[in-house]
């Protein structure tokens, strides 16, 4: 069973930088897991930010970037803004099959 891990929460100052990570309880995340990232504010549908590790979805500002850091996928927000305060979810594609697993999400607070 694939279990994805994320930090429960992060706090960042306005204008600051924060890096969220997405790992596996057993094993490493690599580009072949095709990690993607989603932003969700309360009461709204999720919005795609990053796919295939580091490709920004249409309309996503370049303040959001994706990468692999060590054995985890990472989402970095630079120049954090109040509007970035949201829950962030990573998703991994299991073995390239049509199966996806969400992480538990990271709540980002900007203050």
Partner 1 sequence: EVQLLESGGGLVQRGESLRLSCTASGFPLRSYAMSWVRQAPGKGLEWVSGIGDDGVITSYADSVKGRFTTSRDNSKNTLYLQMNSLRAEDTALYFCARTRHAIKAGYYFDYWGQGTLVTVSS
Contacting residues toward partner 1, per CB under 8 A: 1, 34, 36, 38, 40, 45-48, 51-52, 55, 57-58, 87, 89, 91, 93, 96-105
The residue whose two tokens read 């930090």 is 7
Residue 19 CB, nearest distance to partner 1 (Å)? 20
Q: Tell me the backbone φ, ψ of residue 82, rounded to 5 degrees.
A: -55, -35
- HSE-up (13 A, CA, CB side) for residue 15: 0
C-beta of 14 vs 48, nearer to partner 1 = 48
When the beta carbons of 17 and 52 are compared against partner 1, the nearer one is 52
Q: How far apart are CA 65 and CA 88, in angstroms?
A: 13
Smallest separation (angstroms) from partner 1 to the CB of 15: 28
Tokens of 78: 């630079």
Q: Which is closer to partner 1, CB of 56 or CB of 63?
A: 56
């Amino acid at each position: 069973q694939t279990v994805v891990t994320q930090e429960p929460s992060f706090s960042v100052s306005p204008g600051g930088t924060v890096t969220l990570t997405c790992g596996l309880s057993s094993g490493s995340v690599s580009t072949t897991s095709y990690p993607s990232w989603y932003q969700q504010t309360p009461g709204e549908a999720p919005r795609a930010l990053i796919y295939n590790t580091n490709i920004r979805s249409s309309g996503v500002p370049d303040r959001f970037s994706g990468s692999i850091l060590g054995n985890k996928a990472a989402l970095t927000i630079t120049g954090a803004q109040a509007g970035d305060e949201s829950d962030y979810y990573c998703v991994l594609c299991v073995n390239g099959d049509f199966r996806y697993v969400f992480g538990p999400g990271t709540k980002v607070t900007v203050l």
